[in-house]
Structure 1
Amino acid sequence: MQRVVNCILRDKDRVLLLKKPRRGWWVAPGGKMEPAESIMDTLLREYEEETGLRLENARLCGVFTMCVEDRGGLAKEWMMFTFFADRYRGVPLKESEEGILAWHPVTSLSRLPAASGDRIFLERIALRQEFLVGRFVYSPEEELLRYTLNGLPGTKEVQP
């Protein structure tokens, strides 16, 4: 199973996001873990590669199972570990090999072009740094079919 990490970096009332060229969706910068690499080592390496910034106080705020279902069966699955930080060193790149970087007001996160599941947890973590555990199920066309979030009281499997 593929493991990926990302980080929601907040600086006052804004968040640094990366616009991926394939769909034009905004994501929290991060990337894939290499064999035998720790989650934190991956985060620090990938974040600096994609943004030019060194995170100083990243803490785990989300663990998500991401699935793609095709014809009722599991076609793809990966684990995503999402961190939150509000301190960093350096000057952010304007663009990296992965896409364009830009600061966005926290209040705009729910309106940005993004994967539906990302919109659900990005805003919650950026605003409240709450710890979330969830599962997001997508179609092959990247439509969110259903999700669960166990880290929030009363949250049940929901059809969005």
Structure 2
Amino acid sequence: MDRSEKAIFTNMCMVYDDNGNVLVQNRKDKEWGGITFPGGHVEKKESFTDSVIREVYEETGLKIKNPVLCGVKQWQEEEDVRYVVLCYKTGHFEGELRSSEEGEVYWVKRSELMAQPLASGMELMFQLFLKDKVNEHYLYEDEGEWKQVLK
């Protein structure tokens, strides 16, 4: 029995400072717009860590260091394709903040994060970044309805 499947790997990173702020991105994407953390796709032959460093730089102008893997979100995109989001966080960065064509980026108080106009599903996904005892956000379809589990 073949246990292999195709997978799409992406990443997202919560960048935070010493003043209780987190860097957010207000995505312009019509299909998935709203407040998220910066991130994007892992390129072929690129390491996961290198991809999150590159994506954060492209979308924010900040060069992050020492991103720590803090969780995974996954779901079946199609029967044979798994979509995986590797979640990272770091407080180590340098550079000048700038927005990109992906969306406006700005700092917001961590305590005010949930009051932002969030992208679909982000209220649960933020728990991967904010809580130490949650490490997986799994979406699955059951009888035509999408369900979510935090583990």
**Alignment partner of 1:120 is 2:124:** yes
- Aligned AA (2:139): F
Q: Assess if the C-alpha contact under 8 Å between 1:66 and 1:80 holds in 2.
A: no
Verify the 8 A CA contact 1:18 1:102 in the aligned structure 2: yes
Match of 1:26 among 35, 40, 59: 35
Give 1:1-160 correspondences, 5 Å limit: 1-11=7-17, 12-23=19-30, 24-67=33-76, 77-93=82-98, 95-123=99-127, 125-126=129-130, 128=131, 132-137=135-140, 145-150=146-151
Return the alpha-carbon distance in structure 2 between the equivalents of residues 106 and 51 of structure 1.
18
User: What is the CA RMSD across the aligned residues, in angstroms?
Assistant: 2.3
Gaps of 5+ in 2: 1-6
TM-score by length of 1: 0.76
| Cα shift readout 1:58-100 (whole Å, capped 9, x = no counterpart) | 10001110345xxxx859741000001111111111x202110
Measured after TM superposition, the shift of residue 121 of structure 1 is: 2.8
| TM-score, reference length from structure 2 | 0.80
Say which SS state the counterpart of residue 53 (structure 2) adopts.
helix
- Quote the offset at 1:9 in angstroms: 0.6
In the alignment, the residues of structure 2 paired with residue 110 and residue 40 of structure 1 have an alpha-carbon distance, to the nearest angstrom, of 27
CA distance in 2: counterparts of 1:129 and 1:58, whole angstroms: 16
Tell me, in whole angstroms, the C-alpha distance in 2 between the residues paired with 1:115 and 1:21: 10
Query: How many pairs align?
Result: 139
The secondary structure found in structure 1 opposite 2:45 is coil
Moved more, 11-20 or 73-82: 73-82
The answer to whether the Cα contact below 8 Å between 2:63 and 2:95 also exists between their aligned partners in 1 is: yes
- Matched residues in 1 for 2:94 and 2:14: separation? 15
SS at match of 2:16: strand
Unaligned stretches of 5+ residues in structure 1: 139-143, 151-160
